[in-house]
Amino acid sequence: MFSLRFLFKFVVIGYPAVNNTYCELYYLFGQYGEYNLTVPSKQQNGTNGTKCGLVTVKEPTYADTGTLVFYGSVFFAFFVAAIWVHCIKRCTEKSLPINHNGSILSNGSQDDQTPLTFPASDKPKSSLRLRSVDTFRGLAITHLVLGTSGDGHFWYSNHARWYGITVADFMFPWFVFIMGTSIHLSFNILLSKGLSYCAIFKKIVFRSISLFIMGVCIQSHNDLRNLRIPGVLQRFGITYFIVASSYLLSRRLQARRAEKTGKCYMMFRDITDYLELPLAACCLVVHLCLTFLLPVPGCPLGYQGPGGPLVGENGELTNCTGGASGYIDRTFFTEAHLILVNTCDDVYRTIVRSDPEGILGTFTSIALCVFGLQSGKILHLFTTVRGRLVRLLLWGLALISCSAVLCKCSMADGWIPLNKNLWSVSFIALTGGTAFIVQALFHVLIDVTHFWNGAPLFYAGMNSILLYIGSEIMTPYLPFSWQPFVYNHTEYIILAAWSGFLWLVIAYIFYRRKIFLKL
């Protein structure tokens, strides 16, 4: 069996294998295909393997059929449901009396998240709880749940081996981005309720410690000798503590100053008077300095590759996996407390560990969370649709452009290649930029036009921690998964779809019963 993702090189040699190459060829195999390799009977001196051939005995099938059918059905169902709900709302709007300011007069109960008002201007309802933010969070957590179940075991639904980026690589960074957005919105709610800064800081400390401890517990079982310390929830906890604390300090300092009303200040009030953007800049500088200037024993300065015995000459990069990032993690945690299997192991045969949620990547994670915080400021401080969308799109396009420049739009030949394992600067710039654009799209569809109410992703976003922890613990058990019968992509995509459906149902039930896991 061969992977459908990689181009394979075949070299047929004689014995003894000294300048005795019979033939060589490159081939990309297809799903369920059967092939015969034709090898010439005599050595072809001076040739490059032109007489070596591969004959297809059984034509391969299209491997992505299951994915196209599944996601096509999901998008079609969402579109039909959104059209149906939109038509019902329009009919309801026409049948109810309207007062002089454009609001519908109704004595019926309403969903507290979706007010039944239709303003005549382009100014959306200024609310500290935006449904689009919860829906965006729901999109990220739903895909993380699908990824926990395998998501069809396609190469693009798994993390990139080392360089490059796949669909699965966007979800964790998007979740960090949304966490930053929620910091601004939730803190304004707490401050409006009269909570003191000290009380809010206690909440920050409690939530950060809780996330870190839960992350350590759910991923390491009970083996203290090989307890993995870095992890997803641990990264959330550390990032949240630093960004939330700096934002709280900014608000405290801002409250002591006189209120400004100048035109220039009002236009850029989401940037001025805050400490977070300088914090993000400092984190990026520290990340770059450590990546390119920290000497790693036995490795080239600034090395960012996977290392291993297959890279470089004479095994000179064998112990260089992750460059400075891997070296810092191995020095600080020791290898026993890092991730056991990395995504690059099966390709590069690496022998030293490098954790994708390690120390160095936390600096860029903080910067990404600050980008999300910036999104929250834009959605809250500016009331017009145009003001919000222009800023969101400008930030998104600027970050994507920076990423394109840094990686030179190539897989591994840029100054700073896209790398999820290292959380490189180009990686967080691309994921942050796309997050700004997705947030703008969701804001228009959900908060402004009310074309879509966010369901069912909205329900998942309201209980994201519960779904993540639940899927991490319960995925190996019935009814969330089963032992596959035929081990093909179709069954795996059905399994992932079933698991995702169950967790969405659970999220909906918890939402209706007002049960939310909050830290």
Across the chain, which has 519 residues, the per-10-residue mean pLDDT values are 69 66 75 77 50 77 70 73 73 62 44 39 52 94 84 74 90 95 91 91 95 88 84 95 94 72 68 82 96 93 90 82 94 91 85 92 97 94 91 96 94 92 96 97 92 89 92 88 79 86 93 87
Q: What are phi and psi of 507, to 5 degrees?
A: -60, -40
Angle value at C-alpha 498, between 495 and 503, nearest 5 degrees? 125
Please give the full DSSP string across 443-485, using - where no structure is assigned: IIIIIIS-S---TTHHHHHTTHHHHHHHHHHHTTSTTT----S
Please tell me the distance from the alpha carbon of residue 218 to that of residue 231, in angstroms, as a whole number: 10
Distance CA 418, CA 453 (A): 34
The alpha carbon of residue 44 and the mean position of all alpha carbons in its chain are separated, in whole angstroms, by: 51
**What is the rounded CA–CA span in Å between residue 447 and residue 115?**
10
Two tokens, residue 423? 């959380």
Taking the CA of residue 175 as centre, how many other CA atoms within 13 Å lie in the half-sphere pointing to its CB? 24
> Is 380 annotated as catalytic?
no
374 closest CA partner among 184, 213, 236: 184
Contacts by 110-115, CB closer than 8 A, 24 or more apart: 113/458, 114/450, 114/453
Residues 67 and 37 sit within 8 Å (Cβ to Cβ):
no
Q: In the prediction, which pLDDT does 273 show?
A: 66
Q: Which two tokens stand for residue 237?
A: 């906890």
pLDDT confidence of residue 109: 38
Catalytic pick among 86, 100, 159, 221: 159
The CB density around residue 420, as the number of other CB atoms within 10 Å, is: 25
Count Cβ neighbours within 10 Å for each residue of 498-519 and write b for 16 or more, e otherwise.
ebbebbbebbbebbeeeeeeee
Around 217, how many Cα atoms within 13 Å sit in the side-chain half-sphere? 8
Residue found by looking up tokens 């090395």 in the block: 303
Radius of gyration (C-alpha) of the chain in whole angstroms: 26
* Distance from C-alpha of 68 to C-alpha of 377, rounded to nearest angstrom: 37
Cβ-based neighbours of 196, under 8 Å, separated by 6 or more: none
Would you kindly state where each structural domain of the chain is located, as residue ranges? Answer: 8-61, 64-97, 132-512
Burial of residue 30 (CB within 10 Å: 0-12, 13-18, 19+) is middle
pLDDT of residue 112: 39
User: What local confidence, expressed as pLDDT, does residue 120 receive?
Assistant: 39
Tokens of 280: 């993000």
Look at residue 126 in the predicted model and tell me its pLDDT: 44
Q: Which residue has the tokens 């309802």?
A: 125
Residue 456: asked if its preceding bond is cis (omega within 30°), the reply is: yes
Peptide bond into 479 cis (omega under 30): yes
Q: Give which of 110, 172, 226 is closest to 356, Cα–Cα.
A: 172
